Chain A
């Protein structure tokens, strides 16, 4: 049982590492945000599922398990909202990648509207 918890937390650590490496290597703001989502989803979910299993098997405390579960639910529901706001804000503020986008259908529509 302990091994299952360790594997879940290990998976989490792997994705958090991958997200961090991605954030350092990606060339521009938007691609960095994509990589940081790695940390925000699998990096957190693995720890949360591991925490629920730990609370049940090691402590036998179900109310603690429920609380950790709610923490996960709220984390997942609220996390993308900052993602939308950051991406839209960065774009509207004028950040563009140095090597340009492969295609930019948002910019085309924005200039049409103005």
Chain B
């Protein structure tokens, strides 16, 4: 098991505290100017305690990576616009396939797709994005020939060529995730 480092602890505590403020509604109270000090202090204590125990699972390297405003804005932009648009397109496609009368137009299969992402967070974000878009589910991830491969169940297989299939499943997604994580 990895050890808890101080930067990892600090950034986990900050994230926990932000969530505490959001969940108790104090973030609105701070803007109005009637925040309750006892709630703020209790939140601080709880976040420090939680961070002590969970930082080593949460962060393994470069603890303050996402505190960089450029990366954070890129993350928000990706989540809301790029991913939102892909989600809408894929949802519409699968809904149309499901509701079309007659024989189902599906051709399910499992394809193997290479990825150039290296970091844990980048890979899990890509895999989660792929699973969230209807029509594709990431099944497994493997290292082979010094490359990382994703096994993806695809509802309508167009081509089995790894590079080409990868382009049509995660082309835009991966391009944007690479701007956020390595």
Q: Which residues of A contact B (CB under 8 A)?
A: 14-15, 18-19, 21-22, 25-28, 30-31, 33-35, 37-38, 40-42, 45, 62-64, 66-67, 70, 76-77, 79-81, 83-84, 87-88, 91, 97, 101-107, 109
Complexed CA–CA distance, A87 and B154 (Å) = 12
Given A34-B134, A38-B134, check contact A15 B91 (CB 8 Å).
yes
Given A101-B109, A105-B112, A109-B112, check contact A37 B95 (CB 8 Å).
no
Query: Would you call B132 an interface residue if the criterion is a C-beta within 8 Å of the partner chain's C-beta atoms?
Result: yes
Complexed CA–CA distance, A83 and B132 (Å) = 8
Q: How many residues of B contact A (CB 8 A)?
A: 42
Complexed CA–CA distance, A37 and B135 (Å) = 8
Decide if the interface of chain A is mainly helix, strand, loop or mixed: helix
Segment 74-97 of B: residues with Cβ below 8 Å from A: 87-88, 91, 94-95, 97
Given A37-B133, A83-B131, A88-B139, check contact A97 B108 (CB 8 Å).
yes
Residues of B within 8 A of A88 (CB): 139-140
> Shortest beta-carbon distance, A60 to chain B, in Å?
11
The stretch of B20-28, B52-60, B167-175 in contact with A is B20-28
In contact, B132 and A37 (Cβ under 8 angstroms): yes
Specify which of B136, B151, B153 lies most central, judged by the most chain A CB atoms within 10 Å of its CB.
Answer: B153
Residues of B within 8 A of A19 (CB): 95, 98, 134
> Shortest beta-carbon distance, B119 to chain A, in Å?
17
Q: Which residues of B contact A (CB under 8 A)?
A: 19, 22-23, 25, 27-29, 87-88, 91, 94-95, 97-99, 104, 106-112, 127-128, 131-140, 142, 144, 151, 153, 155, 157, 160
Specify which of A38, A79, A91 lies most central, judged by the most chain B CB atoms within 10 Å of its CB.
Answer: A38
Residues of A within 8 A of B134 (CB): 19, 34-35, 37-38, 41
Specify which of A15, A81, A103 lies most central, judged by the most chain B CB atoms within 10 Å of its CB.
Answer: A103
Residues of A within 8 A of B108 (CB): 28, 30-31, 34, 97, 101-102
Residues of A within 8 A of B151 (CB): 105-106, 109
